[in-house]
Amino acid sequence: MQMSDSQRIPAPKEKVWAALNDPAILKQCIPGCQSLEMASPTEMTATVVIRIGPVKATFGGKVTLSDLDPPNSYRINGEGTGGVAGFAKGGARVKLESDGPDATVLHYDVDAQIGGKLAQLGGRLIDSTAKKLAGEFFAAFGNAVTAAQAAE
CATH number (domain holding residue 35): 3.30.530.20
Query: Whole domain around residue 128: which residue ranges?
Result: 2-151
What does the alpha-carbon distance between residue 136 and residue 102 come to, in Å, rounded to a whole number? 22
Average pLDDT over residues 18-28: 93
Give the whole-number percent of the chain exceeding pLDDT 90: 60
Average pLDDT over residues 82-103: 91
What does the alpha-carbon distance between residue 37 and residue 107 come to, in Å, rounded to a whole number? 24
If one counts the domains in the chain, the total is 1
- Partnered with residue 37 across adjacent β-strands are 45
**pLDDT reading at 93 higher than 90:** yes
**pLDDT reading at 129 higher than 80:** yes
What is the model's pLDDT at position 82? 87
**pLDDT reading at 152 higher than 80:** no
What is the model's pLDDT at position 74? 96
Q: Residues with Cβ < 8 Å from 34, sequence gap 6 or more? A: 47, 48, 49, 58
pTM for this one?
A: 0.87
Evaluate whether 118 touches 126 at the Cβ level (below 8 Å).
yes
**pLDDT reading at 132 higher than 90:** no
* Chain segment 42-90, per-residue pLDDT in tens: 999 999 998 888 888 899 999 999 999 999 999 999 899 988 888 888 8
* Chain segment 110-124, per-residue pLDDT in tens: 888 888 887 887 778
